[in-house]
Amino acid sequence: MSTHVWKAGVHEADTVTGLMVGFRDHLGKDWPSENAFLAGVERLLEDPQTDFVLGAKDADSPPEGVVQLRFRHGLWRAGTDCLLEDLFVTEAARGTGLGRALVAAARDRALERGARRMELDVNERNAPALALYRSFGFETENPAFGGGRDLYLQVDLPRS
C-alpha cells in the first residue's frame, strides 16, 4: 500500500474541518460546532506556526487522515519545539498504515522546520496510539530531568 501525505493548503479548510469534526464525533463530543471548527481551521491555516498534514490511502483517494502540528520556540532546546496536537484517521482507514505515514510526515515536517523536539499527549488507554508513537521513539520517561515520567496536566477554564 502506498499512502499519500501532503501539507494542507488554505483551499483545503473544508477537508481539514470534516476530518476534525470526525475526530470530535469519534471522541463522543458534540462541541465545538462544525462552524467553530471551520473558523478555527481557517485561522490556523493562515498561522505560520501551524501546519495540517492530510493523508490518503493513495494519490487518487480522498483524505482519510489529518495531523495538526504547532511550532514554537522552546527555551530548553534553544530552538523550535513541535507539538503534534491532533492525529485522526477515519475508521475505514485504520490499520492501513495511514496513521504511521502521518506521524512520519509530521516528524519530517518538524525536521524541515528545524525542530529539536516533538511532543504530544495521548490517553494511556489508547494502546494502538501508544504503540505507534513509541515505535517513533516517543516516551514518557525523561532522562534529561533526572528520569521519571513526564505528565501532561490540564484544566478546563470556564468559558466567558
Q: Give residue limits of the domains in the chain.
A: 4-145
For the record, the C-alpha cell of 3 comes out as 499512502
Q: How many angstroms separate the CA atoms of 98 and 32, rounded?
A: 26
Query: What's the pLDDT band for 1 if we cut at 50, 70, 90?
Result: low
Assessment of whether the complete model's pTM goes beyond 0.95: no
pLDDT digits (tens, 9 = 90+) for 36-69: 999 999 999 999 999 999 999 999 999 999 999 9
Mean pLDDT of the chain: 94
Query: What's the pLDDT band for 79 if we cut at 50, 70, 90?
Result: very high
Nearest CA-CA partner of 89 in 158, 5, 1: 5
Q: Does domain 4-145 have CATH number 3.40.630.30?
A: yes
Flag whether pLDDT at 144 surpasses 80. Answer: no
pLDDT digits (tens, 9 = 90+) for 11-36: 999 999 999 999 999 999 999 999 99
Three-state secondary structure call for residue 148: coil
